[in-house]
Structure 1
Amino acid sequence: MNAKFLHLTSSPRSEHSAVRQLSKFLLPVDEDTTCMEVLRYFLSDAKLYALPVVDKNNIPVGLIDRHVFVEYFTRQYVPEIHGKKPVLNFLKEGLAVTAATAPIIIDEATCIDDVAQMIIGAGMQHMVTGFIVTGDGEYLGVANGHDLLNEITLRKQADLYFLAHFDHLTGLPNRMLFGDRLMQACRDALRNNTLVGLMFVDVDRFKQVNDSLGHGFGDMLLCSISERLKSCARESDTVARLGGDEFAILMDNLKETDDPVVMAQRIVDSMQEPLQISGHSLLITVSIGIAIYPTDDTDVTALLTKADTAMYEAKSSGRNGYRIYAPGLSMYNSAQMSLDTELRSAVRNNEFVLHYQPKVSLNNGQVIGVEALIRWQHPTRGLLSPVHFIPLAEENGVIVEIGNWVLRQACIQHCQWNKAGLPSIHVAVNVSALQFRKMGFIETVKSVFLETGIDPRYIEIELTESTLMQNAAGVLETLNELKAIGVRLSIDDFGTGYSNLNYLKQFPIDCLKIDQSFIRDIDTTPVNESIVRAIVALANSMSMQTIAEGTESQSELDVVKRCLCDVAQGYHYAKPLAPDDFSKWLNSTQKFALPDV
């Protein structure tokens, strides 16, 4: 067997290789080369730790450990006995230790983490002697522990840098790196007499999507939005994720203050194209705030605050748009923080009230139930509708506490109406996704029923489509438990979500509430009538009742009847009424001699 000894020192082979190719030092040998010649080669270079042996086909045969080899042949009696033994016979006869005759051989494509595990598993002596690297089975070189540790260290340092400066989900620069780049861009703008555009981008109603469809879906949504933002930005711009659903865009070296406005409009327009996520086609909007350096401020921290303020102004103005910072804009963020604090104490201070909107049977004109709708009797701002505080309650989690209060108060009110001689009608309460998925929800419902003494069959729980379609198996179990208690179940805003009909037919749903967007102008919009007819047919096929929500005019009511809806609810009959006002209204209609259903 022809063989040669090779020693290789570090030199990069490829950025994509997990190990390094090493430049070669050769000691040509043949079948007559003796162990003493190899020993002299070891002794001549103290830097050599091991020598690999390869055959004439460049296939690794063994790896001679310097420590074992030198120690073995420097004993006093060894030269007399083995001094002239050929090195190949030495290997064949197994006079070397196992570590020398059975080296670790690793393909060059092996990832660095796997290499480290193999070395550790085989014994730490290989950190010194090294391991043989091959490519397509042929010898490439020897990598030692130093190379391995250096490579691991470099990669860990790169990982730490990434974690410190980039968002792990989207791969975008994070708040820290964005702040550094913004600071540098402002310095450059000051020297070059240019402008810097700063944009804050917030995803509208992201909390609702996250709670309804799950955090995994929310993560995919954020990644899709980040790609959409990058596609709108210039190559030189920095798109960053600041945290949660908040993004920022840095535009440097600008000549005109209109450039960020053009970018903002481009982003808003791009969001008109639905995002395709995990089989869902989702239409998302964003709110954008813009501030310009040095026009709006020369202090970077103040500039950030002003961009944030402009973004909240865009949100409060209806979302799906942008606002440019202007002097005099209210510090909406501060007001939001104040509202958050007040909202957390509103339940304890008994500041919420319920109003009730009637539901009327289209078969006989009788009132068959009401929907409980919350209002906030704010100490200084007056009576606030849900649009002013429910989104915030969903963001900060207070919605669970509010939802439990609504259920309890609706039950108490029903019992009070019964004692006053009013008929037993259904009272519907809305349950948020967060409240529905909260551990112990069923126990809370049972506790409220036991506490108030209400008959559960008069309570109707309304859930949105998106709430039901997330984790359908778990949802079905919860719905069945609610039905076992005796409550009615309905799907609110039906037609605006993403119902899976296969799941829908399995759910023990009693009623579909057709979203008011389909009822509005149904008398002049044929497509709305077609949609309502389709929903009614679907409900009938599954033995569900239908409610036309938001019926406001006689002409709309006429079409709703023609579509064979069962129940109507809306301003045509009555707006949401305080409890005493509802009692008066119900008595005045003379339509309350209802059977218990």
Structure 2
Amino acid sequence: MKKKMKFLLPIVLIIILVMSLFSARSITRIRNYGKLINYVGIVRGATQRVIKLETNDKQDDELIAYVDGIMEELLTGEGQYGLKRTSYADFNNELELLNENWSQIKKEIYDVRQGADKERLLKQSEELFDVANDTVFSIQEYSGQRSTVLVRQMVITGVFCLIVSIFAIGYYVRKYFRLREKTAELADQAGRDELTGAYAIERFYAEGQEIIDKNQEAKLAVVYIDFENFKYINDVFGYEYGDRVLKEYARTLTDSLKENELLSRSMADQFLVLRCYEDKQDLLNMQMKIDRDFMKREVLPDKHVMAIACGICCIEDTIEKLDIRGFVNRANYAQKTIKNAPGSNYAFYNESIREQMFREIHIADRMGSALAAGEFIVYFQPKVSPYTGEIEAAEALVRWKTSEGKMIMPGEFIPVFEKEHLIGRLDQYVFEEVCRFMQDRYREGARVVPVSVNVSKIRFYTADFVKNYAAIKERYQIPDGMLEIEFTETVACESQDYMLEIIKELHDNGFQCSMDDFGTGYSSLGMLKDLEIDVLKLDALFFRGNPDSKKEQLIVKGILGIIKELDIKSVAEGIETKKQLEFLKECGCDLIQGYYYYKPMPGEEFRKLLIGRQDVSLASGNEGGNR
């Protein structure tokens, strides 16, 4: 027996050693599977974060490079993370498919950055998420199979191996749950705003709708919060300071949240809060207190320039059956009714606001049919030389005369079209009508003067804007220099590099360029040295103050002197009195536009005016003008 044991023991020890080595090898592989699971999970979470950022117009190329590095090491088994290739064919096939999906996602991201629709990117992200899940599950399955074999080996080699196997299984189970927790954390981060930690808008919609559905009898309200003049804060104090203001305000709102209440940063300086309440006045008082306390903590050098506008939509005040998005829209509309309105910072959505909102919806819905029916009428307001009294140019304006004969003024429909992103169609319609009018004049052999047309911010940023306008100009055979494109100072301020490119392109296509509303912003003079504009229009606000103010006169004289030195033609708009006219003549202003000479008039009336066949009443010499 001893002899047997003498031989058996070494054999047993060799078997145990071999099994231990084999088990150790298996354990090493299982640990590698855990790392693979971890890093595939990281890829899954990180790619979703990349896509979330891109759909919110935020770019993170460093995160994309991080994912590329992990994918490269998963595929090759070589790199800084210590990941090893497995011989498991299903997992390797899933990795190849995951890499193909990631490559497609990067292509879609590039297309989105070039202006493509984000829907394809979102659809591709869902496919990538599913493939990433399949990849994780495949290696988990294989890891489970190897663990089972390992347990059997450990049972066979005795209690010691059993203890080791239990320890290993426990260890990896804990690691699995830590991975699940990490994945949950990544998913939570992907649903939050990076700057403030508040919910991203889509997560707010999803969880907000769930709260509403589960609390049908509760009093719930959506509060839409928007900072006024926040661009001023960023421009004057810097974006870092602006970000600090937003983070502090988000923290203040977060501290005020109760059960079933949510906070979202919907965009830029706008926040959404879903609130529970018992009394509307208490709801309002709480929001006012939050804002007062916040303003006390954030002491700004120019504190008076920043205010908070809040629109509140209580679900009980809505007539229609709406979802969370509908309540947000109505709270937003209520906020817009008081934004930048003096003395008012809070508004509840009510029947009056509802009627106004549906009035705007009606206006927006009628635009297409009104364009087709020719209800939009182009008016012309002459620009007159103050020295000769001759009409030297004109501006094209638009009026809406419905089929019922009702006249809708621009102040009512233009803001609606801008908000609904419809204004570009109207801009192009007016431009083409002007070209048609000028072509008819040329065919008649009649006098033609340059005409300026307004281009909205939305149309200005359309990629094919210049190409389309140039094609229309060419089709109607309008000579170079006879059409002037007017854009506002606000557009020029937002992206001067883009503006420089567009102005060059417009000049190359025979257009003149004009900056409208000069003097309404605070960075105009700095732009004049860079922008190659042809015409500068002084805003009417320059001339509505005290006509005898030496300061105002000095400013106007200085500006006109500067632009004359820059070889830019000047136009003063909104001129109504002889005193204003004489002062501008003294300053050397090139053209006058306003009721002192002519009010806006339909095309036929303007045509007759140019050929001297229409007795148009002039207000020249009459204080106050002719409206």
Residues 49-97 of structure 1: CA deviation (Å, up to 9, x unaligned): 53xxxxxxxxxxxxxx3579xxxxxxxxxxxxxxxxxxxxxxxxxxxxx
Instruction: Return the offset for 1:361.
Output: 1.8
Structure 1 counterpart SS, 2:397: strand
User: Which stretches in structure 1 are left out of the alignment for 5+ residues?
Assistant: 1-33, 51-64, 69-98, 131-141, 214-218, 592-597
Among 333, 345, 356, the residue aligned to 1:312: 333
Higher helix share: 2
Higher strand share: 1
Q: 1:86-485 counterparts in 2 under 5 A?
A: 118=73, 121=77, 122-124=84-86, 150-161=177-188, 163=190, 166=192, 171-173=197-199, 174-181=204-211, 197-201=221-225, 227=247, 230=250, 233=253, 235-237=255-257, 238-241=262-265, 247-253=271-277, 257-260=281-284, 263=287, 288-292=310-314, 296=317, 301=322, 308-309=329-330, 311-312=332-333, 315=336, 320=341, 321-327=345-351, 330-380=354-404, 382-417=406-441, 423-485=447-509
Are 1:358 and 1:576, in contact at CA under 8 Å, matched by a contact in 2? yes
Q: Distance in 2 between matches of 1:303 and 1:485?
A: 48
Change (3 A) 1:568 1:372: same
Q: Distance in 1 between matches of 2:27 and 2:616?
A: 103
Q: 1:9-48 counterparts in 2 under 5 A?
A: 40=16
Residues 216-239 of structure 1: CA deviation (Å, up to 9, x unaligned): xxx999978965763674722343
Are 1:251 and 1:260, in contact at CA under 8 Å, matched by a contact in 2? no
Are 2:312 and 2:334, in contact at CA under 8 Å, matched by a contact in 1? no
Q: Which residue of 2 aligns with 1:540?
A: 564
Are 2:263 and 2:274, in contact at CA under 8 Å, matched by a contact in 1? yes
Structure 2 counterpart SS, 1:159: helix
Q: Distance in 1 between matches of 2:177 and 2:560?
A: 69
Q: Distance in 1 between matches of 2:589 and 2:241?
A: 36
Structure 2 counterpart SS, 1:551: coil
Residues 487-522 of structure 1: CA deviation (Å, up to 9, x unaligned): 221111123346576764343311111122223225
My pick for the range that moved more, 229-238 or 404-413, is 229-238
Change (3 A) 1:485 1:292: closer
Residues 105-138 of structure 1: CA deviation (Å, up to 9, x unaligned): 99x9xx96679665662323798799xxxxxxxx
Instruction: Return the offset for 1:391.
Output: 2.9
Among 500, 516, 520, the residue aligned to 2:544: 520
Residues 354-409 of structure 1: CA deviation (Å, up to 9, x unaligned): 11111122333322111001122233582222222223333444323222221111
Q: Which residue of 2 aligns with 1:72?
A: none
Q: Distance in 1 between matches of 2:470 and 2:365?
A: 30
When the two structures are superposed, what TM-score results if normalisation uses the length of structure 1? 0.63
Among 511, 522, 536, the residue aligned to 1:487: 511
Which AA in structure 2 matches 1:124? T
Q: Distance in 2 between matches of 1:490 and 1:514?
A: 11
Residues 540-577 of structure 1: CA deviation (Å, up to 9, x unaligned): 23111111122223333344344432222122222211
Q: Which residue of 2 aligns with 1:18?
A: none
Are 2:245 and 2:298, in contact at CA under 8 Å, matched by a contact in 1? no
Q: Which residue of 2 aligns with 1:90?
A: none
Change (3 A) 1:464 1:125: same
Instruction: Return the offset for 1:168.
Output: 6.9
**RMSD after superposition:** 5.3
Q: Distance in 1 between matches of 2:264 and 2:223?
A: 10
Q: Distance in 2 between matches of 1:261 and 1:412?
A: 58
Q: Distance in 2 between matches of 1:186 and 1:222?
A: 38
Q: Which residue of 1 aligns with 2:599?
A: 575
Change (3 A) 1:380 1:484: same
Are 2:489 and 2:515, in contact at CA under 8 Å, matched by a contact in 1? yes
Residues 260-281 of structure 1: CA deviation (Å, up to 9, x unaligned): 166369769999x9999xxxx9
Q: Distance in 1 between matches of 2:252 and 2:599?
A: 44
Instruction: Return the offset for 1:310.
Output: 6.3
When the two structures are superposed, what TM-score results if normalisation uses the length of structure 2? 0.60
Change (3 A) 1:365 1:224: farther
Which AA in structure 2 matches 1:249? V
Change (3 A) 1:470 1:36: farther
Change (3 A) 1:268 1:479: farther
Change (3 A) 1:255 1:453: closer
Q: Distance in 1 between matches of 2:298 and 2:436?
A: 44
Which AA in structure 2 matches 1:577? M
Change (3 A) 1:378 1:590: closer
Structure 2 counterpart SS, 1:457: coil
Which AA in structure 2 matches 1:154? E
Are 1:311 and 1:322, in contact at CA under 8 Å, matched by a contact in 2? no
Structure 2 counterpart SS, 1:450: helix
Change (3 A) 1:387 1:157: same
Instruction: Return the offset for 1:423.
Output: 3.0
Residue identity over aligned pairs, in percent, reads 23
Instruction: Return the offset for 1:353.
Output: 0.9
Q: Distance in 2 between matches of 1:105 and 1:241?
A: 35
Number of equivalent positions: 476
Q: Distance in 1 between matches of 2:418 and 2:252?
A: 30
Q: Distance in 2 between matches of 1:257 and 1:497?
A: 38
Instruction: Return the offset for 1:581.
Output: 2.9
